[in-house]
Amino acid sequence: MKKGWRWKKRLLKRGGIRLASVAASVIVALNALPAPSSASAAVPAGQDAPKEHTVAVVIDDFGNRMKGTAEMLRLPIPITAAVMPFLPTSQADAEAAHAAGREVIVHLPMEPVKGKPSWLGPKAILTALSDEEIRLRTEAAIADVPHAVGMNNHMGSRATADERVMRVVLQVCKERGLFFLDSRTSYKSVVPKLAREMGVPLLQNDLFLDDVYTDRHVGGQILLLKARVQKHDRTVVIGHVGPPGLITSGQLAAAIPALRQASVRFVKLSELLSPSAPYSLPGAKLPGSASVDESEPGAKVPEESPTSR
Ligand SMILES: [Zn+2]
């Protein structure tokens, strides 16, 4: 039997009612579904729905009992939990996120341009590895994170710029029905080009929330998000458990009511997938530092990082 996309299957499981509120482009993507009969039920005839801005909040670095884990999962929005494989609580964190109704993706450790191998954790994807070893590690990572419907990169400024390496990783994603979220730790990422060419559903990070671990900075990034949603219908932001975990979860919790007031609708990452229209152009510079995710979960920000304080 032909294997469908796993995210699609999960949405299918949850039924048509839920899909009524999903953006039209996503409904196009789910063309195998029966048309939801209640699609227009929420909007009286002749009246336009208020313009909605969809935002997916991805939280990286789950899997190692990191600071802020419980607080992030308690946020009253559908965050997506990016769980690192092969760590002491990889499976427990993925299960807890899933039990809390949160989407789970694999947070694949990948080689950065700068940094120590120890920051990456076990079985990272390194550019010196053979195609076969990259395939084995990617498959093992997926197997180690239950309920994963997608994948994004932890660090990876060197690996995501390497076409040979990314071709293998994306091929495994394709075979397993996982979408890929480019965390965009490198401006030289080949992921957009390859994903298009290979037909792998792709999303891209638009904003790191916590590249500096202070309330002031995270609050400022949330203001950038607020400004961004006025111009963009779909936005992906990434925050972290670990050193900034309590700051970021606190700032998010405080900002959610105002963001909703500004017509932001928080969605799971997979709800932003639209194979026909990539929502974000590759290569644009991210606000703030792109090297935020280039450190070990729980470690200090590496000395080389321009974000270190
Ligand atoms: Zn990470």
Q: Ligand 1 centroid vs 35 CA: distance in angstroms?
A: 38
Q: Examine the pLDDT at 50 and tell me if it is beyond 50.
A: yes
| Cα first-last separation, the chain | 53
Query: In a 3-state reduction of DSSP, which class is residue 251?
Result: helix
Helix (H) or strand (E) holding 136: helix 131-144
Q: Ligand 1 centroid vs 293 CA: distance in angstroms?
A: 5
Q: How many CB atoms lie within 10 A of CB 20?
A: 15
Q: Examine the pLDDT at 216 and tell me if it is beyond 90.
A: yes
Q: Ligand 1 centroid vs 244 CA: distance in angstroms?
A: 12
Which residues are found with C-beta within 5 Å of the ion, ligand 1? 60-61, 154, 293
Supply the pLDDT for residue 119.
81
Q: Examine the pLDDT at 138 and tell me if it is beyond 50.
A: yes
Supply the pLDDT for residue 63.
97
Q: Ligand 1 centroid vs 111 CA: distance in angstroms?
A: 11
Q: Examine the pLDDT at 291 and tell me if it is beyond 60.
A: no
As a whole number of angstroms, the distance between CA 280 and CA 275 comes to: 12
Q: Ligand 1 centroid vs 183 CA: distance in angstroms?
A: 9
As a whole number of angstroms, the distance between CA 184 and CA 290 comes to: 7
Q: Ligand 1 centroid vs 205 CA: distance in angstroms?
A: 13
Q: Residues of the chain with pLDDT > 90: what percent?
A: 69
pLDDT, one tens digit per residue, over 229-288 is 999 999 999 999 999 999 999 999 999 999 999 999 999 999 999 754 444 444 445 554
All domains of the chain in start order, with CATH:
53-272 (3.20.20.370)
